[in-house]
């Protein structure tokens, strides 16, 4: 997951491709504006603005009001998706990604997982999180996260979505999580098996631990199918994790697509300095295939 070691690994990876620290920061700060994704930018702008509707919402939870972007096609009822952002939190990059997913025919809720510490955004882009100032700003917000809080929030989010006219409650809910929130999708699916039918984790951290409530031990409580996309440097650090995930899913009889991608931790997030368009598009297509089963 995102930590100082990951930062050093990503910097070394970028340097090996002749990118300086100055360029590293510039890419992250301007990625939402300059990443010319044929799929993402055209869908979010050309399709998303004309065919979807969106609003910022405030969702009651046991611990306060969670702020989120709710975006969905302008007409009809659609399968709901909860999008949990990476360590840098809800910001324009994830709103852009949510708009693209909505344009594919989903009712998407991109959430501020740090709402207990205040409204989003906490930082404007991944590059800001990479700075000492950004990490200091986010430290109190990160401290509000816990497995118990994830379950409380997921329950509130799914309950809210099920009351929305744009959501087709005859179909199950999907979850997409990035970096630290990859594990949130598995915890949510285990807590709400009757409603969550798909869990997608992208460069997720903490999926396999030595704790009794490790996410990889939760497959037996799920009814969801899973997509677990692992970064190559995360796999290099924990090569046994993919095997533990595979064995746990198989033993529980749960369908799970588990793959190590030839990309760095953070490759799916469009404002990440290590964003990899080719591998991000491949992961996106696998997510769409998973969500088509809802």
Please, what sign has the CA dihedral across residues 15, 18, 19, 22? Answer: positive
Element (H, E) at 259: strand 256-261
Q: What is the pLDDT of residue 119?
A: 98
pLDDT of residue 250: 98
The residues of the chain scoring below 70 in pLDDT are 1-50
Describe the strand order of the beta sheet including 80-84 as a list of residue ranges. Answer: 52-61, 64-73, 107-111, 80-84, 173-178, 196-202, 225-231, 256-261
The pTM for the full model equals 0.86
The number of beta carbons lying within 10 Å of the beta carbon of residue 148 is: 10
The answer to whether 123 touches 88, Cβ cutoff 8 Å, is yes
Q: Give whole-number Cα distances, 251 to 1, 95, 226, in Å.
A: 26, 37, 14
Classify domain 4-291 by CATH number: 3.40.50.1820
- To the nearest whole percent, how much of the chain has pLDDT over 70? 83
Instruction: Look at residue 77 and give its three-state secondary structure.
Output: coil
- Alpha carbons 128 and 83: distance in angstroms, whole number: 21
């Amino acid at each position: 997951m995102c930590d100082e070691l990951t930062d050093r690994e990503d910097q070394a990876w970028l340097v090996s491709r002749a990118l300086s620290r100055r360029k590293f920061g510039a890419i992250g700060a301007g990625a939402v504006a300059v990443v010319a994704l044929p799929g993402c930018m055209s869908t979010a702008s050309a399709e998303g603005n004309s065919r979807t509707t969106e609003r910022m919402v405030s969702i009651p939870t046991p611990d306060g009001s969670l702020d989120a972007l709710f975006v969905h096609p302008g007409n009809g009822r659609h399968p709901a998706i909860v999008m949990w952002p990476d360590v840098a939190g809800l910001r324009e990059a994830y709103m852009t990604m949510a708009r693209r997913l909505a344009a594919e025919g989903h009712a998407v809720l991109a959430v501020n997982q740090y709402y207990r510490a205040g409204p989003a955004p906490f930082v404007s882009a991944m590059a800001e999180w990479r700075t000492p100032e950004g990490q200091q700003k986010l430290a109190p917000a990160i401290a509000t996260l816990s497995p118990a809080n994830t379950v409380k929030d997921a329950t509130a989010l799914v309950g809210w979505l099920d009351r929305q006219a744009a959501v087709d409650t005859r179909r199950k809910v999907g979850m997409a999580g990035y970096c630290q929130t990859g594990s949130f999708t598995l915890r949510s699916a285990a807590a709400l098996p009757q409603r969550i039918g798909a869990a997608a984790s992208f460069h997720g951290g903490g999926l396999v631990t030595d704790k009794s409530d490790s996410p990889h031990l939760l497959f037996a409580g799920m009814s969801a199918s899973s997509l677990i996309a692992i970064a190559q440097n995360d796999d290099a650090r924990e090569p046994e994790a993919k095997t533990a995930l595979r064995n746990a899913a198989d033993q529980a009889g749960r369908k799970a697509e588990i793959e190590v991608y030839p990309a760095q931790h953070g490759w799916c997030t469009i404002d990440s300095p290590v964003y990899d368009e080719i591998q991000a598009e491949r992961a996106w297509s696998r997510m769409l295939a998973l969500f088509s089963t809802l």
